[in-house]
Structures are given as C-alpha cells and as structure tokens.
C-alpha cells in the first residue's frame, strides 16, 4: 500500500509508479536472499502511557541492512514485498521473531505490537500461524497486539470478520494502524472486535498549531473512548504535541520524542 506521506519530512517512493519492473524484481530477489541469510532484524519502538509515563508496549519494526544496498527503509521495500508476495514469508518471520522476543519479555509486562500486511492476513491459515507461533514460544496471547491496516478490513470483510473474531477469541489484541488515512469507512468499527486505534503521524505532526489536525486528533480520541477502545498517537516528536495529547485525553504515545525503534538489547536497558 503506497503512501503519499513521507517520513522524516521526505516524500517516499510510490514504488508501483516510480520503480521499473526490473528494479522491483531485483529488490524481490534481494529480499528472498536476505530472508535466507537472516539479514532482517527487528527493532522495537516503545509505546508510553501518557498518564504514568511507563513503557507499556513496543512496536516491532523491521530493519534491513544489505551489503550492496545499504540500509533499506521498510517504507521502500515493504510495498514491493506486498506486490511480489514475498511479504508472506517476511511477515511470518516477523510474527515468529517478535513473538519469541515477547516471550523473553513476559515478566516485563509489555505488549508487543506486530504489523500485519493485507496479503499476510489473507492467508487462509493466518489464525493458525499466529496461534502456532504463540504455542511454540509458550506465550500468552494477551502479550501480543496485531496492527492491521484499514485495507485489511475492507477487502473481503466477511473473511476478515471471521479471522478477527477467531484472533480475539484466542486473546490477541487488535489495533488499526494509520487510522484515518485509508478508506475511512467507520462501519467496521462497530463490527470488528478491536482494542485500539493508532492516530496516524500525519495528524500529529502539525498539532497543536494546525486547527484541523487538532480537531481530527481530538475526534479520533473521543471516538475511541466512546467505543471503549484505547488510542495511541504515533510520530510524537515534540513536548508541545505530547502536552496537547495529554490534554485531549489520549492514552498512549509513540515517537522520536521518547525513542525511535531500537535493537532488543537496548530496549531492555530502557525498561
């Protein structure tokens, strides 16, 4: 899913439009090799409770350093992986690795949030893959949150509903990533067993100066609470943004102000 917004103020590729078929095929090949050679790593970005200041969770974010390509951003390679299908083995590796890590952090009482791509979710045995990974790591599902995109809920809503109900019954938490940037049908909010909405960085970035962003953030926070959902703001970079979010009643935040995504051993030191 290509995004028009950039990170860090840059405009990222929309790979479908800007990359030739050949470069996408080369990248696909490089990703398959990287999987085989275990070049992918997971970093963890803290999620902080805005009332207590405690770290209550971590989002697992994939990192890739390739000898020839250097550091490749997931904003660049994940959309191509989704196009070519290699996101399925990559996503399943992410799931397994993040759950193993979560199992090592059981006693720390933090929830690990894992990004799930649409194609990965569409695997007919997706629920079984999650439940097998939990069993193998001897981890309670309560420590795991799956970050879904709005596109997951739109494509084949009936199949999605079934899987989400099975995951919720299993005890896994479910959140909507980049809330408000997808095909914003609010209909699914009442149908699906969700736990949390993630306010997209693009709405946080210019708060509290931009009145529209303030209104949108406040509306998402109020909507979440009215629906008994938790709400987290992503991309929090300044004290002003944090103060605004506390004032608006947001539950949690995640962003460079507190910490970027860091390797597991550094994350442990932070805890």
What does the block give as tokens for 98?
Answer: 């993040």
Cα(123)–Cα(177) distance, integer angstroms: 20
User: Nearest approach, Cβ of 90 to ligand C2E (angstroms)?
Assistant: 7
Q: Which stretch binds ligand C2E (CB under 6 A): 21-29, 159-167, 181-189, 230-238?
A: 230-238
Among 91, 141, 180, 182, binds ligand C2E (CB under 6 A): 91
Q: Interacting stretch for ligand C2E, rule CB under 6 A, among 71-79, 127-135, 167-175, 181-189?
A: 71-79
Question: Can you tell me the distance from the alpha carbon of 43 to that of 19, in angstroms, rounded to the nearest whole number?
Answer: 27
Nearer to ligand C2E, 60 or 139 (CB): 60
Q: Does 115 bind Mg ion (CB under 5 A)?
A: yes
CB closest to ligand C2E, residue no: 255
- In the complex, the smallest distance separating the C-beta of residue 160 from ligand C2E, rounded to whole angstroms, is 16
Residue 258: CB minimum distance to ligand C2E, A = 9
- Could you tell me if 92 and 38 are in contact, meaning their C-beta atoms sit under 8 angstroms apart? no
Taking CB under 6 A as the rule, which mask of x and - marks residues 47-66 in contact with ligand C2E?
-------------xxx----
Considering only residues 173 to 212 of the shown chain, the ones binding ligand C2E according to CB under 6 A are: 177-178, 201
Sole window of 15-23, 31-39, 176-184, 260-268 interacting with Mg ion (rule: CB under 5 A): 176-184
d(CA 247, CA 224): 15
| Segment holding 223, helix H or strand E | helix 211-226
Q: How far is CA 161 from CA 66, 187, 203, 263, in A?
A: 38, 12, 28, 34
The one of Mg ion, ligand C2E, none whose footprint includes residue 154, by CB under 5 to 8 A per kind, is: none
Name the pairing type of β-strands 40-49 and 252-254. antiparallel
127 makes contact, choosing from Mg ion, ligand C2E, none, with CB < 5 to 8 Å by partner type, with none
103 token code pair: 């199992």
The reply to whether 145 sits near Mg ion by the rule CB under 5 A is no
Task: Give the pairing type, strands 230-234 and 173-179.
Answer: unpaired
Peptide bond just before 263 cis, omega within 30 deg: no
Q: How large is the angle between the packed helices 87-104 and 74-84, nearest 10 degrees?
A: 120
How far apart are CB 198 and ligand C2E at their closest, in Å?
7
Alpha carbon distances (Å) from 16 to 12, 13, 27, 34, 73: 12, 8, 13, 22, 16
Binding-site ranges for Mg ion (CB under 5 A): 115, 147, 177-178, 234
Enumerate binding residues for ligand C2E (CB under 6 A): 7-8, 45, 60-62, 73-75, 78, 91, 94, 115, 117, 147, 177-178, 201, 234-237, 254-256, 261
């Amino acid at each position: 899913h290509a995004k028009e917004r950039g990170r860090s103020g840059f405009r990222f590729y929309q790979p479908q439009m800007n990359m030739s078929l050949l470069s996408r095929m080369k990248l696909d090949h490089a990703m398959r090799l990287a999987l085989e050679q275990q070049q992918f790593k997971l970093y963890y970005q803290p999620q902080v409770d805005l009332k207590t200041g405690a770290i209550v969770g971590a989002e697992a974010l994939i990192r890739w350093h390739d000898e020839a390509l250097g550091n490749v951003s997931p904003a660049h390679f994940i959309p191509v992986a989704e196009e070519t299908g290699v996101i399925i083995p990559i996503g399943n590796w992410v799931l397994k690795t993040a759950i193993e890590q979560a199992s090592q952090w059981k006693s720390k009482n933090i929830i690990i949030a894992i990004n799930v791509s649409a194609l990965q979710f569409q695997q007919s045995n997706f629920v079984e893959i999650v439940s097998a990974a939990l069993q193998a790591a001897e981890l309670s599902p309560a420590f795991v949150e799956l970050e879904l995109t709005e596109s997951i809920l739109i494509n084949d809503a009936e199949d999605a509903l079934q899987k989400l109900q099975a995951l919720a019954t299993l005890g896994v938490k479910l959140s909507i990533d980049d809330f408000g940037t997808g095909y914003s049908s609010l209909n699914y909010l009442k149908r699906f067993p969700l736990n949390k909405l993630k306010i997209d960085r693009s709405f946080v970035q210019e708060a509290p100066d931009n009145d529209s962003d303030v209104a949108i953030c406040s509306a998402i926070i109020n909507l979440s609470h009215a629906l008994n959902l938790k709400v987290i703001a992503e991309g929090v970079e300044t004290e002003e943004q944090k103060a605004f979010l506390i004032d608006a009643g947001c539950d949690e935040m995640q962003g460079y102000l507190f910490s970027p995504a860091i390797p597991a051993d550094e994350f442990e030191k932070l805890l």
